Structure 1
Amino acid sequence: MDEKKTSLYDVHVRYGGKMVPFAGYLLPVQYDGYGVIQEHMAVRRDCGLFDVSHMGEILCEGEGALENLNYLLTNDFTNMRDGQARYSPMCNENGGVVDDLIVYKVRDNHYFIVVNAASKDKDFAWMLEHQRGGAKFRDISDNVGQIALQGPKARGILGRIAGDEVIPEKYYSCIFEGEAAGIRCVISRTGYTGEDGFELYMAAGDAPALWEALMEAGREEGLIPCGLGARDTLRLEAAMPLYGHEMDDTISPLETGLSFAVKMQKNFIGRDALEKQGTPSRKRVGLKVTGRGIIREQAGVYAGDGKIGVATSGTHAPYLGYPVAMALLQAEEAVPGRRVEAEVRGRRVEAEIVELPFYKR
Structure 2
Amino acid sequence: MSTPSPLHAVHEALGAAFTDFAGWSMPLRYGSELAEHKAVRTASGLFDLSHMGEIELTGPEAARALDYALVGKLSAVKPGKARYTMICDAAGGVLDDLVVYRLADDKFMVVANASNAPAVAAALRERAEKFDVEVTDRSADLALIAVQGPTSTAIIGSVTGADLDALKYYASVPAAIAGIDILLARTGYTGEDGFEVYVDGDRAAEVWRVLTEAGKDHGLLPAGLACRDTLRLEAGMPLYGNELTADFTPFDAGLGRVVKFDKPDGFVGEAALRRRRDADVETKVLVGLVGQGRRAPRHGYAVLASDGTEVGTVTSGALSPTLGHPIAMAYVPVAVSEPGTALTVDIRGTGTPVEVVKLPFYQRPA
Which TM-score bucket, shorter chain as reference? over 0.9
Q: Which residue of 293, 296, 305 corresponds with 2:295?
A: 293
The 10-residue stretch of structure 1 (121-130 or 185-194) with the greater mean CA deviation from structure 2: 121-130
TM-superposition CA deviations, 1:90-130 (whole Å, max 9, x none): 11000100101011111112111111011111111111221
SS of 1:78's equivalent in the other structure is helix
Shift of 1:79: 2.1
Show the counterpart of 1:18. 17
Distance of 2:315 and 2:17 partners within structure 1: 26
Q: What does 1:1-361 correspond to in 2, within 5 Å? A: 2-32=1-31, 35-131=32-128, 132-165=130-163, 169-175=167-173, 177-266=174-263, 267-277=266-276, 278-279=278-279, 280-290=282-292, 293-303=295-305, 304-361=307-364
Unaligned runs of 5+ in 2: none
Shift of 1:166: 6.8
Query: CA 1:337 to 1:166, structure 2 compared with 1: closer, same or farther past 3 Å?
Result: closer
SS of 1:358's equivalent in the other structure is coil
Distance of 2:134 and 2:303 partners within structure 1: 44
Contact 1:291 1:351 in 2 (8 A): no
Shift of 1:135: 1.8
SS of 1:309's equivalent in the other structure is strand
Contact 2:294 2:319 in 1 (8 A): no
Distance of 1:342 and 1:29 partners within structure 2: 27
Number of residue pairs matched? 357
Distance of 1:359 and 1:263 partners within structure 2: 28
Distance of 1:170 and 1:214 partners within structure 2: 21
Shift of 1:155: 0.3
Distance of 1:292 and 1:13 partners within structure 2: 32
TM-superposition CA deviations, 1:140-194 (whole Å, max 9, x none): 110101000000000001111111437752000000x211122110000000000
Query: CA 1:13 to 1:167, structure 2 compared with 1: closer, same or farther past 3 Å?
Result: farther
SS of 2:150's equivalent in the other structure is coil
Question: Percent identity, aligned pairs only?
Answer: 39
Shift of 1:260: 1.8
One-letter code of the match for 1:170?
K
Runs of 4+ in 1 over 6 A off after TM superposition: none
Unaligned runs of 5+ in 1: none
Distance of 1:265 and 1:308 partners within structure 2: 36
Contact 1:166 1:179 in 2 (8 A): no
CA-based RMSD: 1.3
TM, length-normalised to structure 2? 0.95
